[in-house]
Chains A and B, each alone.
Chain A
Amino acid sequence: MIVDGHVTLGRVDGVEVEVGTLLNQMDRAGVDLAVVSPDPRETAVAHREGHDRLLELREQYPERLAVYATANPWLGASAVDELDRALSAGAVAIKLHPYLQGFQPIEPIVEPIMELAAARGVPVYVHSGTPVQATPFQVAALADRFPGVPVILGRGGKTDFKADAAPALKASPNLYGDTAHDFPLTGMATQLAAAGPRRLLFTSDFPYGDMCHELRRARALPAGDAALRDVLGGNLLRLLKAEPMPGEPG
């Protein structure tokens, strides 16, 4: 089963990215399930709107889509409440976007959200790679403070913080690498060597990444069949505590 660990639906740079476009890319690429994030506006300020929109889409395509919940940590208790509501309504993971949401991962305001993730047993995807707010070592520091929460290093620090990804992954056992925008013999292989095959996740970052291209490159990762199955879906399914599809090794 191929699982794309991070895509976005909604309005991106003034372009409306429709679910039909996503499903079409998934069919062309051969992706079974995609975990969908709210769009930038919904990520920054309109959380409930984003969750309701995506959870409704998930109702329509329950076998193809899963949903990230996100909330701005500056909202304090109401952020936690909205995340809790979205997770109860069917969201499967939390996403944080330090630069869109205006915080550094090491700031105490993030802690209540991480405590919720720990209590709920869900992973947290954190966008990374954009200083001053989302460097890989900041994300790793957050992961270190919450060792029971799987933290996904979104975009693996790319572009120019990609060299931080491997040492961060090596030192933080609950930090997960991300294949998005990477290449099999360079960044992907480096992340794989640092994290091992159980802590690297395929994501296309659609619509920023082209899903067919991203998956084609991830499939070329120099790894054995079992490791590749983990990277392309097995690892994330385990994090989401989903059961493997019938006939799939998981």
Chain B
Amino acid sequence: MIYDCHVHVPSNQGTWQLPYFPAQEYLARMDDLDVDVSVMLPFDGLYHQDPSASNDEVVGWCSAAPDRLVPFGTVSPRDPRAADEVTRCVRTLGMRGFKFHPWMQAFHPLEPGMDPVYERCRELGVPVIFHDGTPPLSTPLQVAQVAARWPGLVVILGHGGLNDLYGEAIEAARKFEDVWICMASLHAHAMRQIVDRAPRERIVFGSDGGIAPGDRHTYVDYRWQMLRDLGLAPEVYHAIVEDNPRRLLAVPDVV
């Protein structure tokens, strides 16, 4: 069972002028690439003040194949009802985690308004994945402070620091045991550094698919080939694309 832990659902509102694509189209590409499960992250919800409609849409999109498309939601960091939306997403909609993008959503990861959201995610046993790798609001060590403040909450660095801050991502994962790294949109050297130096049991891979749907999602193909051509030992490769994501996405007993 192969997992892709960082894929974007299409925008329903033409965000970034990107064309919409149906779930069946993406599932067909997953089949071509031998990907069994994709973690589907919200897109429109990061842009709009009330993301609850987007959360509904994400779940609706993923309902085409609930066993293969794992929905993550988001909430508005400054909405006092955000923690309630977390509960609704998990308990009512069956979402399995939450995505936050500090510079798109314009908040600092440690902003006090987010405390109830993190607390609720921890109570419900669902991970949070952050865009990371870009100052001033999304450096890996900034994001890792969420894990430091909320022990037991799984915090995923959604991009492993990107091309310039992968060293910070490695530092963060070594320092905090609930920090995971998703290798998405990294260059080959950064991926090798992460695999060599970060805790192997907390590394997963993501294609960052969905944001470049042109030409039948060739972007996703490129990204998987980059990972495959790293020449990782088979057991390391399988930890990253199978064993680790299965543990990461395990449905908690408390739900």
- Seen from chain A, the residues whose Cβ lies within 8 Å of a Cβ on chain B are 12-13, 129-131, 155, 158-160, 181, 183-186, 205, 207-210, 212-213, 217, 220
Contacts and interface: CB of A to CB of B under 8 A. Distances in A.
Interface stretch (B66-74, B175-183, B218-226): B218-226
Q: Which 8 A-B pairs have the closest CB atoms?
A: A210-B188, A160-B134, A208-B189, A185-B214, A159-B162, A208-B187, A186-B212, A159-B163
Given A160-B134, A185-B218, A210-B229, 20 more contacts: A129-B164, A131-B135, A158-B163, A159-B133, A160-B133, A185-B214, A186-B212, A186-B214, A205-B187, A207-B189, A208-B163, A208-B188, A208-B190, A209-B188, A210-B187, A210-B226, A212-B229, A213-B188, A213-B222, A217-B222
Contact of B193 (A13, A186, A213): A13
A191 to B, nearest CB: 15
Contacts of B187: 181, 205, 208-210
Interface string B159-201: 0001110010000000000000000010111100100000000
Contacts of A208: 163, 187-190
B253 interface: no
Contact of A183 (B134, B167, B212): B212
Given A131-B135, A159-B162, A160-B134, A213 B225 contact: yes
Nearest to A217: B222
Given A213-B222, A213-B229, A159 B185 contact: yes
Nearest to A189: B214
Contacts of A220: 218
B235 interface: no
Contacts of A155: 163
Contacts of B190: 208
A155 B163 CA distance: 10
* Residue among A131, A158, A159, A217 with max Cβ neighbours from chain B (10 Å): A159
B32 interface: no
Interface string B129-157: 00001110000000000000000000000
A210 B222 CA distance: 12
A183 B222 contact: yes
Nearest to A131: B135
B111 interface: no
